[in-house]
Structure 1
């Protein structure tokens, strides 16, 4: 299989001459690969921001700020990452509340 055919295989589904003109197809495919590389990292960044937003909303319902909560967990040596905390906040509110209460008692709040 020639390199040109491989480029056309990657360019399948593109619009205009980008799918059937070798020079333009090669440029578009290379640019698509650049976007793909960049967005794999952006996806992780966006997911982390979403987790932090969910945790912050859940902790504020219990009268605590996000940074106080995370700092308290660190001081208590509770090793739960933000992904799991966000899942607990959404799907297991009682378990999340137990963590919040633990941090509150450690900090002397309530």
Structure 2
């Protein structure tokens, strides 16, 4: 590829990356070099933090909806997973905010199922640990 064509493609790429800027930073190649570099660095460093914040937002919304209907978040999620209700945290958060009656029915189901498990005694029984693993409960029992 000739040198001139490479220069043109470099400038085209720079313009594509600067399309959302305002003013001369958007149109002038030299003025867009610094801001484009900074925006790319910002987008890659902030992405994992943003994902973590969104994940915590989902959990907080679900927990608030559960508290409103009188069930704990952990038991709600455990009952849903054991009952093979495959709704991810995003969908549950959306239901808790925008579809309160649907979320209420899920909470009622979870409360009923949780009480059934407690009556059967299955809810309090711990699953056996694999051999070779020492848990805190084992240490507490031996002391």
Contiguous gaps of at least 5 residues in structure 2:
1-7, 117-143
1:46 deviates by 1.9
Residue of structure 2 equivalent to 1:88: 95
Question: Which structure has the larger Rg?
Answer: 2
In structure 2, the CA distance between the partners of 1:96 and 1:6, relative to structure 1 (3 Å rule), is closer
1:44 deviates by 2.4
Contiguous gaps of at least 5 residues in structure 1:
15-19
Q: What is the TM-score with the length of structure 1 in the denominator?
A: 0.72
Residue of structure 1 equivalent to 2:76: 69
User: Separation in 2 of the partners of 1:42 and 1:29?
Assistant: 21
**Contact between 2:11 and 2:29, CA under 8 Å: does it hold in 1?**
no
* Larger RCO of the pair (alpha carbons < 8 Å, separation 6+): 1
In structure 2, the CA distance between the partners of 1:4 and 1:95, relative to structure 1 (3 Å rule), is closer
In structure 2, the CA distance between the partners of 1:3 and 1:105, relative to structure 1 (3 Å rule), is same
Root mean square deviation, CA, Å: 2.9
**Contact between 2:75 and 2:114, CA under 8 Å: does it hold in 1?**
no
Count of residue pairs brought into register by the alignment: 105
| Greater percentage in helix | 1
Residue of structure 1 equivalent to 2:56: 49
User: Separation in 2 of the partners of 1:92 and 1:2?
Assistant: 49
User: Separation in 1 of the partners of 2:58 and 2:47?
Assistant: 17
Q: What is the TM-score with the length of structure 2 in the denominator?
A: 0.58
1:21 deviates by 9.6
2:114 aligned with 1:107: yes
In structure 2, the CA distance between the partners of 1:91 and 1:6, relative to structure 1 (3 Å rule), is closer
